[in-house]
């Protein structure tokens, strides 16, 4: 059973990064009737979104975010022991985007670097992996990068997704905690998978199952909205309950529940079902749209968290979606952790060599 905990590492910094191009659904949409746009905006809650240019990749957003993290912490790049790149919008099938990013960040060749191919659930998984690694000898500092550019794989004419998605990247810096494991110093994780719903959210073409699809629709993401909705209402409230029960930390003791920003309407329905107050569930979907899994760190930096100077915040991070895959991480955010948000202003660096 993938319900577990690790010794708590120290969350040092998170930077989120979005493309500079901001798209206002109400004023900039031309593919749909105004009435249609109004309806979707009202329901999904997405007013604006940041869209990657054709030559901007999730790696570009993550590299900018990671450079900001390294700068703000004054970490020598050579001191980073591992880099985990969580993405389903990689630069290439091969090499791993993590390897490309390792070079661009100037990390040492003694740094472990690998990709994790998860989407909406990716952040809790990435934090879990990093936390485990930090319990191993030799690992002191780990960067978790999580970036997606869903606007680059969604059909601009598909109303179900076209007005919903935004692009974002993030970098999270974690450091090994003190040697003692007493008291409250645990991070909890609950991780799940149900591959029977793989077809419900899928980009079917371009992989090795159908490398050069004859049906052009297979080059865009397909979502079965009804099935995905049913998946979320079945799984997410249960995930909250499972995390609370396994950790022994009550809903009241959690300062914020940081949801993957899927759709405002669905999120509000989930809150009711999970018995959570809206005040404890920050939403950034109005400003950034649904940026996939990176919407979790994006909501940590831009969700307006009130941070007391004298104590850690307890956060439950919740990722759910494509896979189907879902997971939670119950973590602590110290007052000293640096939360930052930037826009990618410079042209993308696209060459490997």
Q: Summarize as ranges the residues that interact with another protein (CB under 8 A).
A: 39-40, 43, 159-160, 224-227, 229-230, 233-234, 265-266, 269, 272-273
CB-nearer residue toward another protein: 114 or 229: 229
CB-nearer residue toward another protein: 5 or 265: 265
Using alpha carbons, list the distances in angstroms from residue 116 to 22, 86, 238, 295. Answer: 28, 5, 25, 17
The distance of closest approach from Cβ of residue 3 to another protein in the complex, given in angstroms and rounded to an integer, is: 24
The distance of closest approach from Cβ of residue 156 to another protein in the complex, given in angstroms and rounded to an integer, is: 16
The distance of closest approach from Cβ of residue 348 to another protein in the complex, given in angstroms and rounded to an integer, is: 34
3-state DSSP assignment of residue 313: strand
Greatest C-alpha distance within the chain? 60
The distance of closest approach from Cβ of residue 344 to another protein in the complex, given in angstroms and rounded to an integer, is: 32
Between CA 173 and CA 278 the distance in angstroms is 28
Instruction: List the end-to-end C-alpha distance of the chain, in Å, as a whole number.
Output: 43
CB-nearer residue toward another protein: 111 or 266: 266
From the CB of residue 233, how many other CB atoms can be counted at a distance below 10 Å?
Answer: 16
CB-nearer residue toward another protein: 125 or 231: 231
CB-nearer residue toward another protein: 71 or 234: 234
The distance of closest approach from Cβ of residue 224 to another protein in the complex, given in angstroms and rounded to an integer, is: 6
The distance of closest approach from Cβ of residue 228 to another protein in the complex, given in angstroms and rounded to an integer, is: 10
Beta carbons of 203 and 158 less than 8 angstroms apart: no
Beta carbons of 66 and 105 less than 8 angstroms apart: yes
In this structure, are strands 82-86 and 141-146 parallel, antiparallel, or unpaired?
A: parallel
Enumerate the H helices of 289-352 as residue ranges. 295-302
Structure tokens at 301: 């930096």
CB-nearer residue toward another protein: 132 or 233: 233
């Amino acid at each position: 059973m993938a319900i577990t905990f690790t010794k708590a590492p120290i969350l040092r910094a998170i930077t989120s990064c979005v493309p500079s191009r901001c798209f206002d659904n109400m004023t900039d949409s031309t593919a749909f009737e105004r009435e249609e746009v109004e309806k979707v905006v009202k329901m999904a809650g997405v007013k604006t979104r940041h869209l990657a240019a054709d030559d901007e990749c999730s790696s570009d957003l993550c590299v900018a975010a990671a450079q900001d993290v390294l700068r703000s912490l004054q970490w020598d790049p050579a001191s980073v022991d591992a880099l985990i790149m969580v993405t389903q919008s990689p630069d290439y099938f091969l090499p791993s985007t993590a390897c490309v990013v390792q070079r661009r960040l100037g990390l040492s060749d003694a740094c472990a670097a690998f990709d994790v191919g998860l989407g909406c659930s990716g952040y809790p998984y990435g934090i879990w992996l990093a936390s485990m690694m930090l319990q191993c000898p030799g690992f002191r500092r780990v960067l978790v990068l999580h970036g997606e550019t869903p606007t680059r794989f969604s059909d601009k004419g598909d109303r179900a997704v076209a007005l919903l998605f935004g692009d974002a990247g993030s970098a999270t810096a974690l450091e090994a905690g003190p040697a003692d494991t007493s008291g409250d110093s645990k991070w909890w994780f609950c991780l799940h998978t149900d591959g029977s719903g793989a077809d419900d959210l899928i980009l079917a073409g371009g992989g090795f199952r159908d490398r050069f699809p004859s049906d052009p629709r297979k080059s865009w993401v397909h979502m079965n909205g009804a099935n995905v909705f049913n998946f979320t209402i079945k799984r997410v409230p249960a995930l909250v309950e499972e995390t609370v029960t396994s950790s022994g930390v009550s809903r009241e003791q959690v300062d914020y529940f940081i949801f993957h920003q899927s759709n405002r309407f669905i999120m509000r329905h989930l809150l009711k079902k999970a018995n959570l107050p809206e005040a404890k569930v920050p939403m950034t979907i109005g400003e950034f749209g649904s940026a996939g899994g990176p919407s979790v760190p994006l909501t940590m930096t831009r969700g307006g968290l009130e941070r007391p100077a004298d104590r850690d915040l307890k956060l439950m991070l919740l990722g759910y979606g494509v896979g189907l895959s879902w997971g939670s991480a119950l973590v602590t955010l110290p007052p000293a952790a640096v939360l930052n948000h930037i826009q990618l202003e410079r042209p993308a660096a696209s060459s490997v060599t």
